[in-house]
Structure 1
Amino acid sequence: MRLLRSTDLALRVLMRLAVSGGTTPTTRDVAAAMEVPYTHAAKVVAELQHMALLEARRGRGGGLALTEKGRTASVGAVVRAFEGDGDVVDCEGATPCPLNSGCRLRGALRQAQEAFFASLDPITVADIVTNPTGPLLLGISARV
């Protein structure tokens, strides 16, 4: 299974903010540190803010800050939110699959997808920034 770029970026933004140590980097700072376009980062930040996982303050003294809900958020829940609940394969597309009425593949892939998400459910954002990841994230951010 391959994650969408927005899912990957959302997880990296949360990880970066989890090790910010009280600083409030801007969306531009985070985009530069993660080497992604600002517009992509801004869309992801807006969705994370909508999910109440981070706070974004504008103006002087503003920036991004992880909320307590963001720190304890399940990685599985974040991935589900960004990936959506669609099927792994598109059986109903422009050319519907002729096996659609009796295929077992779709169900098996759906079960595998759910097992993937379930394996991420017990892992929190705080868990994924423990050593050695946290110090590495701070080192990357310091270079920007």
Structure 2
Amino acid sequence: MRLTAMTDYALRLLMHLGQHPQRLCTIAEVAQVHGISQAHLMKITHLLGQQGWVATVRGKGGGMRLARAPQDIVLGALVRSIEPDFQLVECMGPPHEHGCLLTGQCRLAGVFDDALAAFLARLDAQTLADVLPPSPPAKAGVGVALPVAGARRR
């Protein structure tokens, strides 16, 4: 089984956003870090926004962030929302679309069905929080807590 590039890139995007919860991230930034075309990433961001996985802010200073907490993003649900189908072999598709001579006699389709169910069950047991890499170290001047206006110094 092989997931589409769109799912791969969507997972990379969400992992990147999960590593930077304190700020908005841009398509250009994610594209550069992960070596993904900006045009492709724009389509993925649009889809993820429509499906409620990411929240986007337009305009100068805009960007995107996770729309849900990482522990609330179940990988199985995410993958199901992006993948066009899970037809591992031709005979798993609609009956009228294949001409396998073994249809109705072959037990291999049941093995593939079970394997797919196990694969998706494993993804259903994992959240984005489970797979996030450690946050990158803060760069000098970035991510540093700034004093709150009106706060008193000690």
Measured against the shorter chain, the TM-score band is 0.7 to 0.9
- DSSP 3-state at the match of 2:65: strand
Report the Cα offset of residue 29 of structure 1. Answer: 1.5
Whole-Å Cα distance in 2 between the matches of residues 24 and 73 of structure 1?
18
Question: Shift in Å at residue 136 of structure 1?
Answer: 5.3
**Could you tell me the TM-score, scaled by structure 2's length?**
0.77
**Bigger Rg, which one:** 2
Residue 29 of structure 1 corresponds to 29
Change beyond 3 A, Cα 1:99–1:53: same
Check the 8 A contact 1:7/1:82 in 2, yes or no: yes
Residue pairs, 1:109-124, within 5 angstroms: 109-124=112-127
Aligned to 1:72: 72
**How high is the sequence identity, in percent, across the aligned residues?**
34
Aligned pair in 2 of structure 1 residues 44, 13: CA closer, same or farther (>3 Å)? same
Gaps spanning 5+ residues in structure 2: where? Answer: 143-154
Q: Which residue of 1 aligns with 2:83?
A: 83
Q: CA deviation at 1:31?
A: 1.3
Partner of 1:11: 11
Relative contact order (alpha carbons < 8 A, sep ≥ 6): 1 or 2 greater?
Answer: 1
Question: What CA distance in whole angstroms lies between the structure 2 residues aligned with 1:57 and 1:15?
Answer: 18
For the structure 1 residues 66 and 29, does the alpha-carbon distance in structure 2 shift closer, same or farther, using more than 3 Å as the test? same
Range with bigger deviation, 45-54 or 71-80:
71-80
Gaps of 5+ in 1: none
